[in-house]
Amino acid sequence: MTGISPLDQRAIDRLRERLEHYGVLPVEYGILAPEPDALVLEQVPGGGWQVRFWDASRGPGRDGKVFEHAVDAAKVLLATLLWSTDLDDSRARYRASRDQG
């Protein structure tokens, strides 16, 4: 893997900001590092970026679509997490506790 370009780093930073803004729980995702039972944005050996689910007992899912730039993979991760309504109540409580403290 190569280093992260300034453009890709800006996309990663923006992704973190948006996840925080929407109150996505930190256990729901990983960025550049595996997170058990979560979607993970990661660099692909040989170049590019992908989003895949890391199962706690089986490891990473099969390789998905590879994107040339982190911004495209970040959009997929953000959209996928926000599309699911399963954790809306937990996210609302997380946002409320974060905003109080």
**What value does the mean pLDDT take over residues 89-100?**
82
Q: Give the model's pLDDT for residue 1.
A: 56
Tell me the H-state helices in 1-101: 6-21, 70-83, 88-100
Q: Give the model's pLDDT for residue 100.
A: 82
Full DSSP string of 17-45: HHHHHTT--GGGEEESS--TTEEEEEEPT
pLDDT tens-place string over residues 37-93: 999 999 999 999 999 999 998 988 886 789 999 999 999 999 999 998 887 888 888
* Sign of the CA dihedral with 78 first, then 83, 84, and 85 last: positive
Domain ranges for the chain: 6-100
CA dihedral 45, 30, 78, 25 (to 10 degrees): 180
At position 28, the amino acid (one-letter code) is E
Six token digits for residue 3: 């280093």
**What value does the mean pLDDT take over residues 1-17?**
92
What does pTM read for this prediction? 0.85
